Amino acid sequence: MSSSRPMNELLAKKAREELNEDPNTIEESVQLLKEWTNKLPHIRVRTDSRFLLIFLRANKFSVESAKKKIEGYYTMRSAVPELFKNRNVDDPKMQEIFKLGVGLIFPKTNGVDGPRISLIRAGSYDPNKYNIKDVIKAGTFAGDIQLLEDDNITIAGQIEIMDLANVTLGHMLQMDAVFFKKLAAVGETGTPIRHKGLHFINTPPGFDTFFNLFKSFLGDKSKTRLFSHGHNIESLYNYVSKSLLPAEYGGGNSSIPEMIDYWYNKILSYRDYFKEEEEYGIVERYRKDIQKQTEDSLFGVDGTFRKLCID
């Protein structure tokens, strides 16, 4: 299988100019990563060509930077097992959450070379029935699929809209500082995409405390991509055209039920893929050491990945 897919001229141009992507050298770069992964004693890496291409794009085709990102990706997934282990598309609770449409990925972008836009409806689940960790875990299914299938997100990046309408104290009490740190580390260290912005809308009273806490866990560059619009949704339109929002938000994108139905069926079609995912990651004999190291480092002060001393 070829590492890349045919894509429109504008997106291909963006890949060349912004990511240093050269169709003539993609396969060579992917092969270098494959050879490197075969020498890793502590991580089992998925070596599908299109999977490895994700990391090259995220690092502007620097093979050495892509290696570090792959290490960070699997390190984070080992350190946060509540989000990334035992992901079974047939789990009844996961299927219930899929159907709630807490996280939605819009089919239309701002032009054929625009970033992918997603919406998180944080108040759309019952906190008395579901835990925030299970809700976020359910969201990782579509997130992984998107990385594999969507050139817009791996080339142009992603814009996220966090709608806090209907968020209650029950939702807020499920969040804690340690989990905030984990989410921030997953986003910065363990996710191979270009974050173009996180926009909060319909924020509740007292949101500033949450916003500033979350912001404190991010690097300087990531902080510049956080935006709080309160209830002034018109200010969101400076970053995301109203026409790109779902019909329920007054836009011209697909309706929320249409998106839910599409992604529910898409996730189920990846049943075998997520079974295979259990085979990849940190090798068991190193897992505890890496988890401890990650707690001390990624969730601690310096925020950097420390290499293991492996015999």
303 pLDDT tier (thresholds 50, 70, 90) = very low
Class of 9-79+280-296 in CATH: mainly alpha
220 pLDDT tier (thresholds 50, 70, 90) = confident
CA separation for the pair 123, 135 (Å, rounded): 11
- 87 token code pair: 């992901």
CA separation for the pair 60, 66 (Å, rounded): 9
**Bridge partners (DSSP) listed for residue 198:** 160, 226
Q: What integer best gives the mean pLDDT of the chain?
A: 89
pLDDT for 178 equals: 82
In the chain, domain spans: 9-79+280-296, 86-269
pLDDT for 306 equals: 38
116 pLDDT tier (thresholds 50, 70, 90) = very high
Q: What is the pLDDT of residues 255-295, one digit of tens each?
A: 999 999 999 999 999 999 999 999 999 886 766 665 666 66
pLDDT for 111 equals: 92
CA separation for the pair 57, 35 (Å, rounded): 18
Q: Do residues 139 and 102 make contact, with C-beta atoms less than 8 angstroms apart?
A: yes
pLDDT at residue 307 greater than cutoff 70: no
Q: Do residues 134 and 97 make contact, with C-beta atoms less than 8 angstroms apart?
A: yes
Q: Which helix (H) or strand (E) holds 293?
A: helix 284-296
Q: What is the CATH code of the structural domain delimited by 86-269?
A: 3.40.525.10
Higher pLDDT, 259 or 180: 259
pLDDT at residue 105 greater than cutoff 50: yes
C-alpha torsion angle, residues 229, 233, 237, 239 (rounded to 10): 20
Q: What is the pLDDT of residues 3-50, one digit of tens each?
A: 778 899 999 999 999 999 999 999 999 999 999 999 998 999 999 999
